[in-house]
Amino acid sequence: MEDTAAASLPARRPVVALLLYPGLTLLDLVAPYQALAQSMDVHLVWKDLEPVKDDIGVEMLPTTTFADCPEQLDLLLVPGGSGQVEVNGDDEVLEFVADRGARARYVASVCGGSLILGAAGLLRGYRAATHWIARELLAAYGAQNINERVVIDRNRITGGGVTAGLDLGLVVIAEMLGEEIAKITQLRLEYDPQPPFDTGSPEGAGARLTRLVRDDFQAFVGQLADVANTLPERGWGRAREAVRV
Amino acid sequence: MEDTAAASLPARRPVVALLLYPGLTLLDLVAPYQALAQSMDVHLVWKDLEPVKDDIGVEMLPTTTFADCPEQLDLLLVPGGSGQVEVNGDDEVLEFVADRGARARYVASVCGGSLILGAAGLLRGYRAATHWIARELLAAYGAQNINERVVIDRNRITGGGVTAGLDLGLVVIAEMLGEEIAKITQLRLEYDPQPPFDTGSPEGAGARLTRLVRDDFQAFVGQLADVANTLPERGWGRAREAVRV
């Protein structure tokens, strides 16, 4: 066989849906998108095809509606963002995530996207990662929080906050298409990170900076806890106990 | 003074323009966007406000036209992507980049965006970084290639390929707003990278994988060299010698 990058690709490109929603954190979505889209067919799905605004104010266009999204996905991936409060209050979105997630070969999330998977009942009994600010919330969905960058438990692959989407994207490719394609993708993206500081985790950042950021997120985490508490009566998430933050 | 994250911010948020163009690599743009937009006012600029498609097929909406873009920017940042061949053949875009770049407090690029800065004459006599696949092209613009993740030379800050936009975004924040804000931003983005492989650079990936990716990019690099050779007669870039790849 000829030794080319293309020679390592499967005959059929995997079919992927990335959930787009108002108030998502754009990098949660675009980091894995950039890795996955080199060797997979990627749909950006939302209720309709109108522009969707991220949590700062930039708009992207969905490519596919919930109704037109392939039923049998190789991968469903859900990003986080401040809009996840509204998403977890929206039965139409949770029904889409629960339906496609239950059938998908792999189900993944970046950052607070794991709370959306959890609300849709997809993380009950699974180990999972999320943004460090939201770790305590995972238990409400019957998931066990693991403080790792990327957590694989059977066919659920969940990542930590925002930039973890890059590591996760490459891990997903390695799982689905093998290490050769993942390694080539990493080289194409020149993913040889050199963070200027050691403050990317609470452990590295230390108590003072961690408290500053935690204070900034406090109201948001409270909103996430509030919406989590509405899920059982709405038939979602199977919260085992009320969430108090 | 109260010890909050907001207390470290300047009274006036810096004004930033990120160049959007058809065929850009989306992560080149979104990685620094996500870091910068937390403490700066970010415009996504293009000729008009119609959706702009990236080099895979996803569309984003510009927020600001060239005509409406503030004249005096604190930062102009240019991403790379396969569309840079067309951009470097488009005098209207180069005129915008040259004009705003000459006045901006800082001028930055990610990946092949440095070749656009170079074409607009903004890197003559500067040290600069670019995607590893394009390193040999920088000399055509009078720039000296430096094989580093992020290169700062006076007010020019240039990054390596694609994912270098994250490191660059944080370095830019540290330069413009100080290390406290950059460190907080890194914690918010949980930028504590754990790449699954050591293949993010040619040195790490080794000769075989590097050759595979170089082969994939060969035609593209040839197109970049071709358009670089048209610049002198069009009055741009001041190429010192013909580019042969």
Residue A39 is part of a domain; what is its CATH number? 3.40.50.880
Residue of chain B minimizing CA distance to A33: B27
- Which residues are within 8 A (CB) of A211 and not within 5 positions of it... i.e. 6 or more apart? none
Cα separation values, B51 from A50, A128, B62, B64, Å: 12, 36, 7, 12
Confidence grade of residue A24 (pLDDT, cut at 50, 70, 90): very high
| Collapsed DSSP state (helix, strand, coil) of residue B74 | coil
Confidence grade of residue A2 (pLDDT, cut at 50, 70, 90): low
The answer as to whether A129 is a domain residue is: yes
The answer as to whether A3 is a domain residue is: no
Using CB atoms, pick whichever of B59, B182, B193 lies closest to residue A166.
Answer: B193
Do the Cβ atoms of A162 and B190 come within 8 Å? yes
**Among candidates B169, B193, B163, which has minimal Cα distance to B39?**
B169
Q: Check whether A154 has a pLDDT greater than 80.
A: yes
Residue of chain B minimizing CA distance to A160: B190
How far apart are the C-alpha atoms of B3 and A234, rounded to whole Å?
41
> What tens digit of pLDDT does each residue of A176-202 get?
999 999 999 999 999 999 999 999 999
Quick one: pLDDT at residue A238?
Answer: 60
Using CB atoms, pick whichever of B196, B204, B213 lies closest to residue A170.
Answer: B196
Using CB atoms, pick whichever of B34, B191, B209 lies closest to residue A183.
Answer: B209
Which residues from chain B sit within 8 angstroms of residue A173, using beta carbons? none
Interface of A with B in 208-227 (CB under 8 A): 208-210, 212-213, 215-216
Q: Check whether A95 has a pLDDT greater than 70.
A: yes
The answer as to whether A141 is a domain residue is: yes
Q: What average pLDDT does this structure show over B217-226?
A: 94
Q: Check whether A244 has a pLDDT greater than 80.
A: no
CA distance A62 to chain B (A): 8
Tokens representing residue B175 in the block: 């330069």
Tokens representing residue B211 in the block: 């050759």
Number of domains in chain B: 1
Q: What average pLDDT does this structure show over A103-127?
A: 97
The answer as to whether A222 is a domain residue is: yes
Interface of A with B in 92-111 (CB under 8 A): 111
Quick one: pLDDT at residue A240?
Answer: 46
Quick one: pLDDT at residue B237?
Answer: 63
The answer as to whether B206 is a domain residue is: yes
Which residue segment(s) compose the domain that A65 sits in?
13-191+201-239
Q: Check whether A9 has a pLDDT greater than 60.
A: yes
For testing contact with chain B, the best of A19, A168, A191, A198 (most B CBs within 10 A): A191
Quick one: pLDDT at residue B2?
Answer: 66
Whether the pTM exceeds 0.90: the reply is yes
What residue type is assigned to position B191 of the chain? Y
B49 interfaces chain A, CB cutoff of 8 Å: no
Confidence grade of residue A237 (pLDDT, cut at 50, 70, 90): low
Q: What average pLDDT does this structure show over A70-97?
A: 97
How far apart are the C-alpha atoms of A186 and A168, rounded to whole Å?
12
The share of chain B scoring above pLDDT 70, in percent, equals 96
Residue of chain B minimizing CA distance to A35: B27
Residue A55 has, within 13 A of its CA and on its CB side, a CA count of 21
Q: For residues A217 and A76, is the Cβ–Cβ distance under 8 A?
A: no
> What tens digit of pLDDT does each residue of B7-38 get?
777 778 999 999 999 999 999 999 999 999 99
Q: In sequence order, what E strands does B22-100 have?
A: 41-46, 52-53, 59-60, 64-65, 75-78
How far apart are the C-alpha atoms of A88 and A79, rounded to whole Å?
13
Quick one: pLDDT at residue A181?
Answer: 96
The answer as to whether A245 is a domain residue is: no
Tokens representing residue A231 in the block: 């899920």
**Among candidates B202, B228, B57, B54, which has minimal Cα distance to B141?**
B228
Q: What average pLDDT does this structure show over A58-65?
A: 98
Q: For residues A62 and A33, is the Cβ–Cβ distance under 8 A?
A: no
Q: What average pLDDT does this structure show over B31-49?
A: 97
How far apart are the C-alpha atoms of B244 and B219, rounded to whole Å?
13
* β-sheet bridge partners, residue A142: none
Interface of A with B in 110-129 (CB under 8 A): 111
CA distance A32 to chain B (A): 9
Tokens representing residue A78 in the block: 């859900």
Quick one: pLDDT at residue A4?
Answer: 80
Query: DSSP code of B80?
Result: -
Question: What is the β-pairing status of strands A41-46 and A64-65?
Answer: parallel
Q: What average pLDDT does this structure show over B143-148?
A: 95
Supply the residues of B annotated as catalytic: 111
The answer as to whether B94 is a domain residue is: yes
For testing contact with chain B, the best of A186, A203, A211, A216 (most B CBs within 10 A): A186
How far apart are the C-alpha atoms of A64 and A75, rounded to whole Å?
15
The answer as to whether B4 is a domain residue is: no
Using CB atoms, pick whichever of B160, B186, B200 lies closest to residue A200.
Answer: B186
Do the Cβ atoms of A200 and B208 come within 8 Å? no
How far apart are the C-alpha atoms of B202 and B200, rounded to whole Å?
7
